[in-house]
Amino acid sequence: MNVVITGASKGLGKAIAEKYAEAGHHLILCARNKDALLDTKKHLLQKNSNCQVEVMATDISVKENVTGFGKYCLMFGTPDILINNTGSFLPGSIHEEADGTLEKMMDINLYSAYHLTRLLLPKMMEASSGHIFNMCSVASVKAYTNGGSYSLSKWALLGLTKNLREEMKPFNIKVTALIPGAVYTNSWSGTDIKPERIMQPEDIATMVYAASMLSPQACVEEILFRPQLGDL
């Protein structure tokens, strides 16, 4: 299968890429950092000789770059799975965060997924198959202090996911919202949070892969993940 994953050089994106690489799928990956992305490609191919990995370093918070990456993906045929994982977190409160924070969060967390999905959907609709995953957040379903514009963008992404799910039913395309709480990635390094208190990236990757392997008539619409002891 052709599996497109954005933000794939680290954290959740990399863990999900590893899961599909282990199963021998064809991966088309993007991330902003070229060196990190090439390291990820090397790592995946060294561990999994039966997979194929294509990479493109680009910042898909910029619409023109999304267009370039979308065209790159279609060079390898119709995508079977699209995982809109690109995201960023800027803490703050709506009433006092820096001007431009909302626009930045929307560009990264919402518009990247919106534009890439629209570029790839025609071929998926033509094939009458496929699965789209959008990396939402518990901030998509629960307001919390210091969430600010990040929360706004993630609520919007969940709304996009729900609407897309309804639109794509007649085309046999599945759409799933991933709604994770705290996951131990690089963003937690340097903090006093212990890894065993929160989830691991592999936990999310395992569930994504499992949901994508169900029968054609089954669709997991939402997956809500939380640490065993609850949110921080």
Per-residue exposure over 129-168, b if at least 16 CB sit within 10 Å of its own CB, e if not? ebbbbbbbbbbbeeeeeebbbbbbbbbbbbebbeebbeeb
> What tokens does 135 get?
């990396």
The DSSP secondary structure of 162-200, one letter per residue, reads HHHHHHHGGGT-EEEEEEE--B-SGGGTTSS--GGGSB-
Known active-site residue 150? yes
Q: Which two tokens stand for residue 17?
A: 């890429």
3-state secondary structure of 153: helix
Of the listed 111, 114, 150, 209, which one is catalytic?
A: 150
Q: What is the Cα–Cα distance from 60 to 63, expressed in whole angstroms? A: 6
- Closest residue by Cα to residue 159 from 134, 180, 130: 134
Active site residues: 150
